[in-house]
Protein backbone atom coordinates (compact mmCIF):
# COMPACT_ATOMS: atom_id res chain seq x y z
CA UNK A 1 0.00 0.00 0.00
CA UNK A 2 1.43 3.38 -1.02
CA UNK A 3 1.47 5.91 1.75
CA UNK A 4 2.52 9.53 2.44
CA UNK A 5 3.53 11.43 5.56
CA UNK A 6 2.35 15.04 5.79
CA UNK A 7 4.46 17.07 8.22
CA UNK A 8 7.98 15.73 8.77
CA UNK A 9 9.16 17.79 11.72
CA UNK A 10 10.38 16.18 14.96
CA UNK A 11 7.56 13.62 15.31
CA UNK A 12 6.85 13.21 11.60
CA UNK A 13 10.43 11.99 11.19
CA UNK A 14 9.61 9.21 13.69
CA UNK A 15 6.63 8.20 11.52
CA UNK A 16 8.95 8.09 8.50
CA UNK A 17 11.49 5.99 10.40
CA UNK A 18 8.80 3.57 11.64
CA UNK A 19 7.29 3.20 8.16
CA UNK A 20 10.68 2.53 6.57
CA UNK A 21 11.41 -0.03 9.27
CA UNK A 22 8.06 -1.79 8.63
CA UNK A 23 8.84 -1.72 4.90
CA UNK A 24 12.17 -3.45 5.63
CA UNK A 25 10.41 -6.01 7.81
CA UNK A 26 8.24 -7.00 4.85
CA UNK A 27 4.96 -5.27 5.71
CA UNK A 28 2.83 -4.41 2.71
CA UNK A 29 3.57 -0.69 2.87
CA UNK A 30 5.57 1.69 0.73
CA UNK A 31 6.38 5.23 1.84
CA UNK A 32 6.07 7.05 -1.46
CA UNK A 33 5.92 10.77 -0.61
CA UNK A 34 6.93 13.05 2.23
CA UNK A 35 5.28 16.45 2.41
CA UNK A 36 6.18 19.46 4.50
CA UNK A 37 5.22 23.14 4.27
CA UNK A 38 8.97 23.67 4.50
CA UNK A 39 10.24 22.21 1.21
CA UNK A 40 13.87 22.09 2.40
CA UNK A 41 12.79 19.96 5.39
CA UNK A 42 10.80 17.60 3.11
CA UNK A 43 13.88 17.25 0.85
CA UNK A 44 16.20 16.59 3.78
CA UNK A 45 13.95 13.84 5.21
CA UNK A 46 13.36 12.28 1.78
CA UNK A 47 17.11 12.09 1.17
CA UNK A 48 17.89 10.82 4.66
CA UNK A 49 15.38 7.93 4.44
CA UNK A 50 15.47 7.20 0.71
CA UNK A 51 11.92 8.36 -0.07
CA UNK A 52 11.51 8.95 -3.83
CA UNK A 53 9.18 11.93 -3.83
CA UNK A 54 9.00 15.05 -1.68
CA UNK A 55 6.85 18.15 -1.94
CA UNK A 56 5.38 21.13 -0.12
CA UNK A 57 2.13 20.91 -2.10
CA UNK A 58 -0.68 18.85 -0.54
CA UNK A 59 -2.53 18.78 -3.90
CA UNK A 60 0.36 16.80 -5.40
CA UNK A 61 -0.10 14.15 -2.68
CA UNK A 62 -3.88 14.12 -3.10
CA UNK A 63 -3.55 13.57 -6.87
CA UNK A 64 -1.09 10.69 -6.38
CA UNK A 65 -2.03 7.03 -5.95
CA UNK A 66 -1.22 6.92 -2.24
CA UNK A 67 -4.02 5.18 -0.37
CA UNK A 68 -3.32 6.64 3.07
CA UNK A 69 -1.74 9.69 4.67
CA UNK A 70 -0.25 10.23 8.13
CA UNK A 71 -1.05 13.78 9.26
CA UNK A 72 1.80 14.90 11.55
CA UNK A 73 1.50 18.66 11.16
CA UNK A 74 0.94 21.08 14.11
CA UNK A 75 -2.37 20.57 16.01
CA UNK A 76 -4.07 23.71 14.64
CA UNK A 77 -3.70 22.37 11.07
CA UNK A 78 -4.99 18.80 11.68
CA UNK A 79 -8.60 19.50 10.70
CA UNK A 80 -7.84 21.30 7.44
CA UNK A 81 -5.19 18.82 6.29
CA UNK A 82 -7.08 15.68 7.37
CA UNK A 83 -10.41 16.81 5.89
CA UNK A 84 -8.79 17.58 2.52
CA UNK A 85 -7.15 14.13 2.55
CA UNK A 86 -10.42 12.34 3.31
CA UNK A 87 -12.36 14.36 0.74
CA UNK A 88 -9.84 13.05 -1.80
CA UNK A 89 -10.53 9.46 -0.74
CA UNK A 90 -7.43 8.88 1.42
CA UNK A 91 -7.41 6.97 4.73
CA UNK A 92 -5.89 9.11 7.49
CA UNK A 93 -3.89 8.57 10.64
CA UNK A 94 -4.08 11.97 12.35
CA UNK A 95 -1.74 12.80 15.20
CA UNK A 96 -3.34 13.83 18.48
CA UNK A 97 -5.28 15.99 19.08
CA UNK A 98 -7.70 14.95 16.32
CA UNK A 99 -8.59 18.66 16.00
CA UNK A 100 -8.46 21.73 18.20
CA UNK A 101 -12.25 22.07 18.47
CA UNK A 102 -14.93 19.49 19.16
CA UNK A 103 -16.94 20.79 16.18
CA UNK A 104 -14.05 20.08 13.79
CA UNK A 105 -13.31 16.69 15.40
CA UNK A 106 -16.96 15.70 14.90
CA UNK A 107 -16.82 16.74 11.23
CA UNK A 108 -13.85 14.39 10.73
CA UNK A 109 -15.70 11.53 12.42
CA UNK A 110 -18.73 12.19 10.18
CA UNK A 111 -16.54 12.32 7.07
CA UNK A 112 -15.11 8.91 7.98
CA UNK A 113 -18.62 7.51 8.40
CA UNK A 114 -19.84 8.94 5.08
CA UNK A 115 -16.81 7.78 3.08
CA UNK A 116 -16.08 4.49 4.84
CA UNK A 117 -12.43 5.57 5.13
CA UNK A 118 -10.27 4.73 8.14
CA UNK A 119 -9.81 7.57 10.61
CA UNK A 120 -7.28 6.78 13.30
CA UNK A 121 -5.88 9.14 15.95
CA UNK A 122 -2.34 9.10 17.31
CA UNK A 123 -3.35 8.18 20.86
CA UNK A 124 -0.04 6.36 21.08
CA UNK A 125 -0.34 5.12 24.66
CA UNK A 126 -3.22 2.78 23.78
CA UNK A 127 -0.50 0.86 21.93
CA UNK A 128 2.03 0.90 24.80
CA UNK A 129 2.69 -2.54 26.29
CA UNK A 130 2.81 -1.20 29.89
CA UNK A 131 -0.65 0.35 29.39
CA UNK A 132 -1.91 -2.97 28.02
CA UNK A 133 -0.51 -4.65 31.14
CA UNK A 134 -2.22 -2.14 33.43
CA UNK A 135 -5.53 -2.55 31.60
CA UNK A 136 -5.20 -6.31 32.09
CA UNK A 137 -4.43 -5.88 35.82
CA UNK A 138 -7.47 -3.63 36.28
CA UNK A 139 -9.66 -6.05 34.29
CA UNK A 140 -8.52 -9.02 36.43
CA UNK A 141 -9.34 -7.03 39.57
CA UNK A 142 -5.69 -7.31 40.68
CA UNK A 143 -5.85 -3.80 42.16
CA UNK A 144 -9.26 -4.21 43.78
CA UNK A 145 -11.51 -1.17 43.57
CA UNK A 146 -9.57 1.51 41.66
CA UNK A 147 -9.52 4.67 43.75
CA UNK A 148 -7.45 7.01 41.63
CA UNK A 149 -5.13 7.37 38.65
CA UNK A 150 -2.29 9.89 38.60
CA UNK A 151 -0.28 10.64 35.47
CA UNK A 152 2.85 12.77 35.30
CA UNK A 153 4.32 13.97 32.02
CA UNK A 154 7.11 16.31 32.91
CA UNK A 155 9.38 17.63 30.25
CA UNK A 156 11.64 20.55 29.49
CA UNK A 157 11.03 21.83 25.97
CA UNK A 158 10.37 25.04 24.12
CA UNK A 159 6.60 25.65 24.04
CA UNK A 160 4.79 25.14 20.74
CA UNK A 161 3.49 28.27 19.07
CA UNK A 162 -0.04 27.10 18.32
CA UNK A 163 -1.10 25.05 21.37
CA UNK A 164 -0.08 24.20 24.91
CA UNK A 165 0.25 21.24 27.24
CA UNK A 166 -3.51 20.65 27.45
CA UNK A 167 -3.84 20.00 23.71
CA UNK A 168 -0.47 18.25 23.45
CA UNK A 169 0.06 16.23 26.66
CA UNK A 170 -3.18 16.12 28.66
CA UNK A 171 -5.00 14.88 25.54
CA UNK A 172 -3.05 11.61 25.91
CA UNK A 173 -4.18 11.23 29.50
CA UNK A 174 -7.85 12.02 29.18
CA UNK A 175 -7.83 9.34 26.49
CA UNK A 176 -5.96 6.93 28.80
CA UNK A 177 -8.42 7.51 31.65
CA UNK A 178 -11.33 6.67 29.36
CA UNK A 179 -9.51 3.66 27.92
CA UNK A 180 -8.37 2.21 31.25
CA UNK A 181 -11.65 2.78 33.08
CA UNK A 182 -13.88 1.90 30.12
CA UNK A 183 -15.81 5.11 30.64
CA UNK A 184 -16.17 7.55 27.76
CA UNK A 185 -16.36 10.73 29.82
CA UNK A 186 -15.69 12.05 33.32
CA UNK A 187 -18.68 13.68 35.00
CA UNK A 188 -16.67 16.88 35.45
CA UNK A 189 -13.22 18.38 35.00
CA UNK A 190 -11.39 21.04 36.93
CA UNK A 191 -8.14 22.47 35.62
CA UNK A 192 -5.39 24.85 36.60
CA UNK A 193 -3.03 26.06 33.89
CA UNK A 194 -0.14 28.50 33.77
CA UNK A 195 1.57 30.18 30.83
CA UNK A 196 4.30 32.27 32.53
CA UNK A 197 5.70 33.84 29.34
CA UNK A 198 3.07 36.44 28.46
CA UNK A 199 1.40 34.32 25.77
CA UNK A 200 -1.79 32.28 26.04
CA UNK A 201 0.06 28.97 25.50
CA UNK A 202 -0.28 26.86 28.67
CA UNK A 203 3.03 25.26 29.70
CA UNK A 204 2.01 23.71 33.02
CA UNK A 205 -1.31 22.20 34.02
CA UNK A 206 -3.00 20.10 36.68
CA UNK A 207 -6.18 18.50 35.42
CA UNK A 208 -8.62 16.71 37.69
CA UNK A 209 -11.24 14.50 36.10
CA UNK A 210 -13.97 12.95 38.17
CA UNK A 211 -15.19 9.55 36.97
CA UNK A 212 -17.68 9.03 39.79
CA UNK A 213 -15.96 6.36 41.88
CA UNK A 214 -12.53 7.03 40.38
CA UNK A 215 -10.61 10.22 40.75
CA UNK A 216 -8.08 11.02 37.98
CA UNK A 217 -5.27 13.55 38.01
CA UNK A 218 -2.88 14.59 35.27
CA UNK A 219 0.13 16.80 35.91
CA UNK A 220 1.71 18.00 32.66
CA UNK A 221 4.63 20.32 32.11
CA UNK A 222 7.06 21.64 29.54
CA UNK A 223 8.87 23.63 32.23
CA UNK A 224 10.32 20.90 34.47
CA UNK A 225 14.10 21.14 34.16
CA UNK A 226 14.71 18.81 37.10
CA UNK A 227 12.24 16.04 36.23
CA UNK A 228 13.27 15.98 32.60
CA UNK A 229 11.27 13.33 30.73
CA UNK A 230 9.45 11.87 33.71
CA UNK A 231 6.46 9.94 32.39
CA UNK A 232 4.60 7.68 34.81
CA UNK A 233 1.09 6.50 35.63
CA UNK A 234 0.16 5.40 39.13
CA UNK A 235 -3.04 3.42 39.59
CA UNK A 236 -4.09 3.04 43.21
CA UNK A 237 -6.62 0.40 44.18
CA UNK A 238 -7.85 -0.69 47.60
CA UNK A 239 -5.98 -4.05 47.26
CA UNK A 240 -2.88 -3.07 45.31
CA UNK A 241 -1.20 -0.25 43.41
CA UNK A 242 0.59 -0.31 40.08
CA UNK A 243 3.13 2.21 38.85
CA UNK A 244 3.99 2.11 35.18
CA UNK A 245 6.89 3.95 33.62
CA UNK A 246 6.24 4.79 29.97
CA UNK A 247 9.94 5.24 29.24
CA UNK A 248 11.50 2.17 30.91
CA UNK A 249 8.44 -0.13 30.34
CA UNK A 250 8.69 -1.03 34.02
CA UNK A 251 5.68 -2.03 36.11
CA UNK A 252 5.77 -2.05 39.93
CA UNK A 253 2.98 -3.82 41.74
CA UNK A 254 2.56 -3.45 45.51
CA UNK A 255 -0.13 -4.93 47.72
CA UNK A 256 -1.87 -2.62 50.11
CA UNK A 257 -4.79 -2.81 52.44
CA UNK A 258 -6.77 0.37 52.67
CA UNK A 259 -9.88 0.57 54.72
CA UNK A 260 -11.04 2.40 57.81
CA UNK A 261 -9.77 -0.57 59.88
CA UNK A 262 -6.50 -1.43 58.16
CA UNK A 263 -3.91 0.69 56.37
CA UNK A 264 -0.85 -1.34 55.40
CA UNK A 265 1.57 -1.77 52.53
CA UNK A 266 3.49 -4.97 51.72
CA UNK A 267 6.75 -3.50 50.36
CA UNK A 268 8.64 -6.78 51.01
CA UNK A 269 6.67 -8.59 48.33
CA UNK A 270 6.46 -5.72 45.85
CA UNK A 271 6.90 -7.01 42.32
CA UNK A 272 8.83 -4.98 39.80
CA UNK A 273 9.03 -6.25 36.22
CA UNK A 274 9.55 -5.06 32.69
CA UNK A 275 6.86 -5.71 30.11
CA UNK A 276 8.01 -6.49 26.60
CA UNK A 277 9.54 -3.34 25.12
CA UNK A 278 7.79 -2.66 21.86
CA UNK A 279 7.71 0.46 19.75
CA UNK A 280 4.20 1.84 20.34
CA UNK A 281 4.41 3.93 17.16
CA UNK A 282 5.05 0.85 15.04
CA UNK A 283 2.19 -1.03 16.75
CA UNK A 284 -0.06 1.98 16.08
CA UNK A 285 0.92 2.04 12.39
CA UNK A 286 0.41 -1.73 12.00
CA UNK A 287 -3.13 -1.26 13.39
CA UNK A 288 -3.69 1.55 10.86
CA UNK A 289 -2.46 -0.50 7.88
CA UNK A 290 -4.71 -3.42 8.85
CA UNK A 291 -7.74 -1.18 9.30
CA UNK A 292 -7.21 0.47 5.90
CA UNK A 293 -7.22 -3.01 4.35
CA UNK A 294 -10.02 -4.65 6.29
CA UNK A 295 -12.28 -1.73 7.20
CA UNK A 296 -12.29 -2.66 10.90
CA UNK A 297 -12.11 0.13 13.51
CA UNK A 298 -8.72 1.04 14.92
CA UNK A 299 -7.96 0.69 18.65
CA UNK A 300 -7.65 4.50 18.68
CA UNK A 301 -10.53 5.42 16.40
CA UNK A 302 -11.97 8.79 15.43
CA UNK A 303 -14.66 8.61 18.14
CA UNK A 304 -11.99 8.22 20.84
CA UNK A 305 -10.19 11.23 19.38
CA UNK A 306 -13.42 13.24 19.33
CA UNK A 307 -14.21 12.37 22.96
CA UNK A 308 -10.76 13.49 24.14
CA UNK A 309 -11.09 16.77 22.25
CA UNK A 310 -14.43 17.37 23.99
CA UNK A 311 -12.82 16.81 27.40
CA UNK A 312 -9.90 19.17 26.64
CA UNK A 313 -12.35 21.84 25.49
CA UNK A 314 -14.09 21.50 28.87
CA UNK A 315 -10.73 21.64 30.66
CA UNK A 316 -9.93 24.92 28.87
CA UNK A 317 -13.36 26.23 29.83
CA UNK A 318 -12.59 25.30 33.43
CA UNK A 319 -9.34 27.32 33.27
CA UNK A 320 -11.25 30.28 31.85
CA UNK A 321 -14.02 30.14 34.48
CA UNK A 322 -11.78 29.16 37.40
CA UNK A 323 -14.13 26.36 38.49
CA UNK A 324 -15.11 22.81 37.64
CA UNK A 325 -17.11 22.20 34.46
CA UNK A 326 -19.55 19.36 33.71
CA UNK A 327 -18.73 16.84 31.00
CA UNK A 328 -19.31 15.98 28.19
Interaction of residue 278 with ligand NAD, rule CB under 6 A: no
The gap from C-alpha 161 to its chain's centroid, in whole angstroms, comes to: 19
Pairwise CA distance, residues 125 & 246, whole Å: 8
216 bridge partner residues:
149, 209
CA 96 to CA 139: how far, in whole Å?
26
One of 68, 69, 72, 311 touching ligand NAD (CB under 6 A): 72
d(CA 61, CA 53): 10
Of 214 and 282, nearer to ligand NAD (C-beta) is 282
**Pairing between β-strand 188-194 and β-strand 325-326 as defined by DSSP bridges:** antiparallel
Determine, following the binding rule CB under 6 A, whether residue 11 of this chain makes contact with ligand NAD.
Answer: yes
Name which position in 18, 34, 81, 214 contacts ligand NAD (CB under 6 A).
81
- Residue of 18, 61, 70, 75 that binds ligand NAD (CB under 6 A): 75
Q: Does 298 bind ligand NAD (CB under 6 A)?
A: no
Q: Cα–Cα distance between 157 and 221 in angstroms, integer? A: 9
Binding mask 105-144 for ligand NAD (x = CB under 6 A): -----------------x-x--------------------
Question: Interface with ligand NAD by CB under 6 A: which range of 74-82, 100-108, 231-239, 265-273?
Answer: 74-82
Q: Does 6 bind ligand NAD (CB under 6 A)?
A: yes
User: Residue 120 and residue 118: Cα distance in Å, rounded?
Assistant: 6
- Only one of the segments 8-16, 147-155, 196-204, 303-311 lies at the binding site for ligand NAD (rule: CB under 6 A); that segment is 8-16
Q: Taking the complex as a whole, how short is the minimal distance between the CB of residue 112 and ligand NAD, in angstroms? A: 18
Q: Which residue is at the shortest CB distance from ligand NAD?
A: 9
Burial class (CB in 10 A: 0-12, 13-18, 19+), 47: exposed
Q: How far is the CB of 239 from ligand NAD (least distance, A)?
A: 32
Query: Smallest distance from the beta carbon of 235 to ligand NAD, in angstroms?
Result: 20
Could you say which residues in the range 34-63 bind ligand NAD, by CB under 6 A? 35-38, 41
- From residue 185 to residue 214, the character string flagging contacts with ligand NAD as x (rule: CB under 6 A) and all else as - is ------------------------------
Which residues of the shown chain bind ligand NAD in the complex (CB under 6 A)? Answer: 6-12, 35-38, 41, 72-75, 77, 81, 95-96, 122, 124, 168
Amino acid sequence: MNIAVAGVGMWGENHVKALKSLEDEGYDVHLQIVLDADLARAKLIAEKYGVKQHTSDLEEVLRSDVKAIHVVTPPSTHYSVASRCMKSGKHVLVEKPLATSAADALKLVELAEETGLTLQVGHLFRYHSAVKELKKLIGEDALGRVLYLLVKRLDFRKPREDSGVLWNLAIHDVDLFAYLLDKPFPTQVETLAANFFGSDIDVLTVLKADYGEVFCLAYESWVSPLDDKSRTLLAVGDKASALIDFISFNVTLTSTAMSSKQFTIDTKNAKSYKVQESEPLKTEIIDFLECCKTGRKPVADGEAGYRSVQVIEKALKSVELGRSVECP
